[in-house]
Amino acid sequence: MAQSGMLGSGVKVGYSAASPVSWVGIGQILEADIPGLEPDEVETTVHGTSNFRRYAPGLIDVTELRLVLLADLDEGTAADQDALFDYQAARTTIWWRVEIPVDRTRSKCTALEFQGWVKNWMPRAPLDDRQELEVTVRFDGTSFTKYEAGATAIT
């Protein structure tokens, strides 16, 4: 049985254009698909006495970071969302940090850091529901770092 399970709320995402020291927090996150590592499968079977295929891990893909935000398309009140559009238009690779709470008080989190670019910035405005903004980030770096649980670094 699971011990101290967590609800999905409390995930924080931030970006940094210049240095991964200070982070701009992205507000109003409704949903987050957190990136992870997914290696290719390389078949290494050698025909012989065994009837089983064998596989080794190949190159590692970092899955996409996908966010659904409560849209605020007014750049005066949601500069963070507006900046993501500008980064996409400029095709800029920036630093990203995802913080996942590890306790119910959300006082500690495990953080993931990597570089990536905004793949899409897509407003959704259904007629009878809230306006949303979907943002997808694609990995573009040489490292994907997971830190031990600690205090948040995203403002």
Give the predicted TM-score (pTM) of the model. 0.86
CA distance 2 to 39: 27
What does DSSP assign to residue 63?
Answer: P
The verdict on residue 60 lying in a domain is yes
Domain limits for position 87: 12-150
**Per-residue confidence (pLDDT) for residue 128, from 0 to 100:** 79
Q: What's the distance, CA 122 to chain centroid?
A: 16
DSSP string, 131-142: -EEEEEEEEEEE
The verdict on residue 135 lying in a domain is yes
**Per-residue confidence (pLDDT) for residue 1, from 0 to 100:** 37
The verdict on residue 138 lying in a domain is yes
**Per-residue confidence (pLDDT) for residue 33, from 0 to 100:** 96
CATH of the domain at 120: 2.30.110
The verdict on residue 74 lying in a domain is yes
CB 110 within 8 A of CB 102: yes
CA distance 32 to 123: 16
**Per-residue confidence (pLDDT) for residue 91, from 0 to 100:** 97
Structural domains of the chain, count:
1
CA distance 139 to 65: 8
> Would you call 151 helix, strand, or coil by DSSP?
coil
The verdict on residue 1 lying in a domain is no
pLDDT by residue, tens only, the chain of 155 residues: 344 445 556 899 999 998 777 999 998 999 999 999 999 999 999 988 888 999 999 999 999 999 999 998 888 888 999 999 999 999 999 999 999 998 877 789 999 999 999 999 999 987 778 899 999 999 999 999 999 998 999 97
The verdict on residue 3 lying in a domain is no
The verdict on residue 53 lying in a domain is yes
Nearest-10 Cα torsion for 138, 24, 105, 28: -70
The verdict on residue 111 lying in a domain is yes
- Phi-psi domain of 28 (left: phi exceeds 0; alpha: psi -120 through 50; beta: other): left
